[in-house]
Amino acid sequence: MMEAEALKHYHDEEFDPQMLVKMYVSEDKTHTKEELLEYPMKVVYELCSTGTVKGETLIDLSGGPDLGQLLVAGNFYKEITVLESSVASQEEIQRWLNRHPDATDWSHATRLLSKLIGGSISTEELEEKTRRAIKHCLLWDPCKDNPVEPDNLPQADTLLSTWYLEVACKDHDSYRNYLKKFLSYLKVGGHIILFYASKCTHYTIYQQRFSTLNYEKEFVKTVLLDSGIAIERSSLNKSKVDSHQVKYEHFGYFLGHKEKQV
């Protein structure tokens, strides 16, 4: 019998953040770009522009060097802290912040944002606005009592997370632990916007398959409720992606506010 394929993990050295962007959310992609990049941008813009979610401080914890949602948030928040548990992804985000010539090009995401706001601000100005808003890009280790040691992170008005927990967590217990530690950074009354992909089995970078956590929407709902979050709205969308490179059946988001410390 052939041995089962050993899947790589988000924190392994084989994880290539630039290739992740190129394979799934670059300008020439269709369904994966629409679902994994454009959908979160449109949702975050709608929630912030209508005043449904507001504040001055935001903390982001997302999978890979994802900047689409941060480009949107940079128009509404004065101070953004980016958390990242992958060293490679943190370094890639830092390259973009430092305008490194080899940094991932997010201009297609900025053009979408420009359309959302009516084209009144240039794409260059939108990128600079986000760079100014991002005050910190910190390594986050949820296995530690203080995941950002030696730093101390004050609670924020809003938490934002796109496609992180399904790629970083190896089992349901770690999902609960990671999410509860992330929620400890949220003020009582503040909002979390959490994007999820359910029935997710794997994704591929080059020829390497990477593991993901397989769960249903109801699991996420239960963890949020157990963590003191009152859910205000949620969505469930059938994925149009039909590819051997990545497999997930549904995607969507939860919006909730923190009722109490747990």
pLDDT score at 5: 64
The candidate with the shortest Cα–Cα distance to 65, out of 28, 39, 36, 94, is 94
CA distances from 178 to 99, 161, 227 (A): 31, 12, 11
Measured distance CA(257)–CA(186) in Å, rounded? 9
Measured distance CA(107)–CA(131) in Å, rounded? 14
- The β-bridge partners of 208 are 205
pTM, 2 dp: 0.95
Please report, in tens digits, the pLDDT of each residue of the chain (262 residues total): 333 468 999 999 899 999 999 999 999 999 999 999 999 999 999 999 999 999 999 999 999 999 999 999 999 999 999 999 999 999 999 999 999 999 999 999 999 999 999 987 889 999 999 999 999 999 999 999 999 999 999 999 999 999 999 999 999 999 999 999 999 999 999 999 999 999 999 999 988 999 999 999 999 999 999 999 999 999 999 999 999 999 999 999 999 999 987 7
Superfamily in which the 17-258 domain is placed by CATH: Vaccinia Virus protein VP39 (3.40.50.150)
Beta-carbon-side half-sphere exposure of residue 140 (alpha carbons within 13 Å): 24
